[in-house]
Amino acid sequence: MTNPKSSFKQIAIAAARAGDSKKASPVTVFDLAGTSPLADYAVLMVVESAPQLDAVEEEVLVRLKQDGVYCLHKDGMRSRNWKVLDYGGTLVHVYDQKASEFYAIDKIYDKCKQVPWEDKPAAAPAPKAAEAVKEAPKPAAQKAAVKKAPVKKVAVKKAPAKKAPAKKVPAKKAKPAAKKAAVKKAKPGKKAAPKKAAKKTAKKK
């Protein structure tokens, strides 16, 4: 099956994500941009062991086959440290650290532009919005606490104002009582005066 040139980038990105799912690291996609007659894109994936190398190779083959893309050629089938999958315009290199150091594979594409292949997390901004909502009620709670404080102070001021009139009431009632006592003492004095005058007139006669 022949692959159109417009899909070579998609093939490279799909292969990179397949290798990443099997813990290959680092995974790098290069845009060869006409620098190589062999392909337009190259995918480099580093593994830690031979079993992992086989697992990454198998995952790439299966994932791309599900998309209707088939490998045209395989190189290094008997190798335990480096394999190459040829998809026409896209080359997929799977190798271990020893092969990387010995063949300097990454330096072959050192001057080529790297292509971002990782999915951008669309749900990342959601937690920030949730935090903003949680933080919003905090200032409101502080305002409510400030408003409640003056209410308590007003209640304390009203208590002594009620007790002040109670002390003045007994002082006003005491004055009329003194006046009544003075009136009672004065009345017997006035009545006694006429009796004495009557006795004096009787003696004169």
Amino acid at site 120: K
* Alpha helices by DSSP H, the chain: 8-21, 50-66, 97-103, 105-108, 125-135, 137-204
How confident is residue 37, by pLDDT bands cut at 50, 70 and 90?
confident
The pLDDT of residue 72 is 94
Amino acid at site 101: E
The pLDDT of residue 154 is 44
Domains along the chain with CATH numbers: 5-119 (3.30.460.10)
How confident is residue 17, by pLDDT bands cut at 50, 70 and 90?
very high
7 and 14 Cβ atoms separated by less than 8 Å: no
Pick the residue with more confidence: 92 or 186?
A: 92
Using the structure block, give the residue that is written with the tokens 């994936």: 45
How confident is residue 108, by pLDDT bands cut at 50, 70 and 90?
confident
6 and 85 Cβ atoms separated by less than 8 Å: no
How far is Cα 86 from Cα 88, in angstroms, rounded to an integer?
6
pLDDT higher than threshold 60 for residue 28: yes
pLDDT higher than threshold 90 for residue 53: yes
pTM over the 0.85 mark: no
How far is Cα 155 from Cα 123, in angstroms, rounded to an integer?
52
How far is Cα 89 from Cα 77, in angstroms, rounded to an integer?
20
Ramachandran bin of 88, using left for φ above 0, alpha for ψ from -120 to 50, beta for the remaining angles: left
Q: Find how far residue 141's CA is from the centre of its chain.
A: 18
How many of the other CB atoms lie within 10 Å of CB of 123?
6
pLDDT higher than threshold 90 for residue 126: no
DSSP-based three-state secondary structure for 123: coil
Pick the residue with more confidence: 72 or 197?
A: 72
| The two three-digit tokens of residue 152, written as one number | 């308590």
Pick the residue with more confidence: 194 or 33?
A: 33
Give the range among 18-22, 89-93, 143-147 with minimum mean pLDDT. Answer: 143-147
Pick the residue with more confidence: 1 or 18?
A: 18
How confident is residue 6, by pLDDT bands cut at 50, 70 and 90?
low
The pLDDT of residue 134 is 53
The pLDDT of residue 121 is 55
Burial zone of 45 (CB within 10 Å; 0-12 exposed, 13-18 middle, 19+ buried) = buried
pLDDT higher than threshold 70 for residue 173: no
How confident is residue 26, by pLDDT bands cut at 50, 70 and 90?
very high
Per DSSP bridges, beta strands 82-86 and 27-31 are: unpaired
